[in-house]
Structure 1
Amino acid sequence: MMNVKNILAALMMLVSASVFAETAQETAVKKLVEPRLGEGVVVDSVTKTPYAGLFEVRIGSEILYTDEKAKFLFVGSVIDSQTSVDYTKNRIADLNKIKFSDLPLDAAVKMVKGNGKRVVAIFEDPNCGFCKKFRHTLQGVDNITVYTFMYNILAEDSATKSKNVWCSADKSKAWDDWMLNGKAAPVAAASCNTPNDKVYELGRKLNVSGTPTIFFADGTRMPGAVDAKTFEAKLASLK
């Protein structure tokens, strides 16, 4: 009779063979699909999904699907018809996650309301209308700490406006005065140094393509001027 040790060894061999076979299959699909996507397109990974025999094709943060022979390409979301779970949306959100603790918070404008226990970071441009709209939404949110990275991507004078805010005695008040009331901060001295370039590079590194973009403590992001109900629901889900 085969002893327990031999049985375990045999099972491990079967599992290893299965994993190897799946990896080999994914590699084969990648070799088939990559040249069919167009010249210069680089596929970052191919992963077999647990649904419908599809393979996930990842190009950066973009997700496509194909079959095992790479004969068909599927563009769009895979949604569970019974639970309404959007697998594609969840996967993209997972791919776009960051490590919140790695954010250089010393380069952000800090605002604390109430006990400040709920923490978010937001990339905003001083010329962004949607950012100003979301600032008004934040007025009704309590017990929160907001780190604002002034991300100058919309206009030539965005960097100047951000510098004036950064060099103010009360950065948080100066930012709110501008975003909520249109009251510009005093002109900063030429000698005042800002983290403008650092924040710009950070945004590019994190693939922040628009403002506002909100990052939550779990590393997930939410683009756009979301309403208070959506924002509060997301914060509550982190508990």
Structure 2
Amino acid sequence: MKLISLLLAAAALTLGLSAQAQESALRKTLAERIPQMGKIDEVRPTAMQGLYEVRIGTDVFYSDAKGNYLIQGELIDTKARRNLTEDRINKLTAVEFSELPLKDAFTIVRGDGKRKVAVFEDPNCGYCKRFERDLQNVDNVTIYLFLYPILSPDSAEKSRNVWCAKDRVVAWQDMMVRDKNPSNASCDTAAIQRNLAFGRKHKITGTPTLIFANGTRVPGAVDAQEVEKRLAEAASDTTSKN
């Protein structure tokens, strides 16, 4: 029995060393052939035999074992009907809800407000306006709205006018849902600058970007049905952790 355990341990060690050698060789080959790729943060095998994930930051590529071919695209598990690339990127870009600087957002509470979602939006974003109109159909939720002016020069001005308004929620919804720009206002807008810094740190490059209570990040103007689905998933994940 002891001999079998020793043999199994030796086999595991050999496999581990082999995997490390494979990873090192793949890193070396890609660095030599495509130096403009930059520093490779991680190499690991995928669910598909012979295919490796090559990660640079939150960007995911795929390669064969020898680094002769590099693929930029999505890996789909047809049996499970899952986009494995999307799942992986969601994990890489997840933001713990507890890490969000909620003091730099304003809140919109609907119904009992038990469910939570944070949204980064630019006032000049057409997709954000479509999203906001859809969001009117979602109830029993607290929305933490982070002003994130990245699209055009006057995005900062409009964001300031909302942040400094007497009623931020009314000013925001007037602009995004009813196409009525807020009145000029001024106050301390350091919170908006902190939002921009937070977004750069976490690579929030487009609006709207949604972050749910389970840390899942969703880019783009998803409809109310998708928001409901994500809120339910977040609630389920939170319950299972507790």
Pairing 1:16–2:13 present: yes
Between the aligned partners of 1:20 and 1:104, the Cα distance in structure 2 is 43
Q: Does 1:214 align with 2:210?
A: yes
1:197 equivalent to 2:187? Answer: no
CA distance in 1, matches of 2:47, 2:154: 49
TM-score (norm 1): 0.90
Taking the aligned partners of 1:235 and 1:159, their CA distance within structure 2 comes to 30
Partner in structure 2 of residue 223 of structure 1: 219
Gap change, CA 1:237 and 1:40, over 3 Å in 2:
closer
Q: How far, CA to CA, are the matches of 1:77 and 1:126 in structure 2? A: 31
Q: Deviations over 1:129-185 (max 9, x none)?
A: 111111111111001111111101111111111111111222222211211112233
Letter of the aligned partner of 2:104 in structure 1?
A
Deviations 1:2-26 (A, max 9, x none): 55xx755654444334223212221
**Quick one: which of 64, 84, 107 aligns to 2:81?**
84
> Which residue identity lines up with residue 207 of structure 2 in the other structure?
T
Letter in 2 for 1:215: I
C-alpha distance after superposition, 1:112-131 (max 9, x if no partner): 11111111111100111111
Return the alpha-carbon distance in structure 1 between the equivalents of residues 79 and 47 of structure 2. 16
Contact 2:61–2:72 (CA under 8 A) maintained in structure 1: yes
* Percent identity of paired positions between Structure 1 and Structure 2: 43
Q: How many residues align?
A: 235
Distance 2:220 2:121 in 1: 10
Which residue, 109, 114, 117 being the options, matches 1:112? 109
Corresponding residue number in structure 2 for 1:99: 96
Q: Is the 8 A contact 1:166 1:194 kept in 2?
A: no
Give the Cα–Cα distance (whole angstroms) in 1 for the partners of residues 194 and 68 of structure 2: 44
Aligned with residue 27 of structure 2, among 30, 50, 64: 30
CA RMSD of the aligned region, Å?
A: 1.9
Residue 137 in 1 paired to residue 155 in 2? no
Structure 1 equivalent of residue 47 of structure 2: 50
Segments of structure 2 that go 5 or more residues without pairing to the other structure are 237-242
Match of 1:27, SS?
helix
Relative to its length, the structure with more helix (as a share) is: 2
Post-superposition offset of 1:192: 3.4
Cα deviation 1:179-216 (Å, max 9, x = unaligned):
11122333223x53441211111111111111111111
Q: Is the 8 A contact 2:135 2:223 kept in 1?
A: no
| Kept after mapping to 2: 8 A contact 1:120/1:146 | yes
| Structure 1 residue ranges, 4+ long, deviating more than 3 angstroms after superposition | 6-14, 191-194
Q: 1-side partners of 2:47 and 2:159: how far apart?
A: 47
> What is the distance in 2 between the residues matched to 1:201 and 1:192?
16
